Amino acid sequence: MQRVSLSKALSSLLRHKAVRVGLRIRPDGFCLLSEVLQAWEMRRLGVSVSDVEDVVHLSDKQRFELRTEDGELLIRAVQGHSMHVVRDDQLLRSLRVDDDELPDVCVHGTFKKHLSSILRVGLLAGGARIGSRNHVHFIPHEPGDGRVISGLRDGNQVAIYLDLRAALGDGVPFFVSNNSVILSPGIDGVISSEYVVRVRDLETNMDLDLAAARSSAAPAISSGTSSCDSCDSCDAAQLTIVQRLEAVLGRSLSHPERLKYEVYDEGRI
């Protein structure tokens, strides 16, 4: 069996699909391994307990954790969830502005095509696919320093440096996972671009002129473009997330799309 295929299948189940396929998942992200192995994705691959143990122990990015409770083996993904049944305070360690070991560096990797919208509307949990992840992901060290990086995608072109201490001081929640990824749900799904203090081109290893990059970012979409006359469901208090998403996509959302994304007040974004 290929470990890569099994790792991807486990990531899909434990981060995104457990609830959808009927797996019981706890607020701390753990599932019974015996139940995970009965999922279609696992049965299709012919997975055994030892296969899973190998993937967990040999993962260079330490994506998963195994634990034994009351004689039963449990497994979880240590970060990267989109299911809101998994709670930050039970899966992750909360960071505080007065933490003695607060990282000096907090870096988010992205692509050049996204930089303008990030500087315009902020970092969105899940990026343009709002709801696809619960958090914005960061690494607590410089990219390219030789460490195996979980939290930074291969091929990222731009490193965005955040003033972590300032954001924490302003009440933006941040957490750290067991594999040292820094995560934040933002406030209403957004981390303001005001906390961006540096941008580095990873292809040239040169810092970009942040002031120039900010000024070249197109202005945020006006509130007038977010009105919707189709029904009364588009509450004015819900428009903020829609405006931000429209700014990222560069177009207005259709009425069905509005109703799909205007759910953050119910705690699902």
pLDDT 10s digits, 75-91: 999 998 989 899 999 99
CA distance 120 to 123: 9
Please tell me the predicted confidence (pLDDT) of residue 192.
94
Domain ranges of the chain: 3-77, 92-216, 223-266
Distance of alpha carbon 82 from alpha carbon 154, whole angstroms = 21
| CB 185, CB 125: distance < 8 Å | yes
Query: What topology is assigned to 92-216 in CATH?
Result: ADP-ribosylation fold (3.20.170)
Exposure of 27 in the CB half-sphere (CA atoms within 13 A) = 4
* CATH number corresponding to 3-77: 1.10.10.970
SS3 assignment for 20-58: CCCCCCCCCCCEEHHHHCCCHHHHHHCCCHHHHHHHHHH
The pLDDT value recorded for residue 154 is: 76
Of 98, 88, 94, the residue nearest 165 (C-alpha): 98
CB hemisphere CA count around 221 (13 angstroms): 22
Cα–Cα distance, 76 to 60 (Å, whole number): 16
Q: What's the CA gap between 209 and 256, in Å, rounded? A: 39
Q: At what angle do helices 239-249 and 112-121 cross, to 10 degrees?
A: 150
Give the model's pLDDT for residue 234: 40
Cα 117 from chain centroid (whole Å): 17
Rounded CA-CA distance 145/28 in Å is 31
The pLDDT value recorded for residue 265 is 33
Read out DSSP for 165-214? HHHHHTT---EE-TTS-EEE-TBTTEE-GGGEEEEEETTTTEE--HHHHH
CA distance 16 to 82: 5
pTM for the structure as a whole: 0.76
pLDDT of residue 66: 97
The CA distance from 69 to 98, in Å, is 34
* pLDDT tens by residue, the chain, 269 residues: 588 899 999 999 999 999 999 999 999 999 999 999 999 999 999 999 999 999 999 887 889 999 999 999 999 999 989 898 999 999 999 999 999 889 999 999 999 988 998 998 899 887 655 455 789 999 999 987 766 566 677 788 999 999 999 999 999 999 999 988 999 999 988 999 999 999 999 999 999 999 999 988 856 444 444 444 444 444 433 445 666 666 666 666 665 555 555 443 333 33
Q: How far apart are CA 169 and CA 98, in angstroms?
A: 9
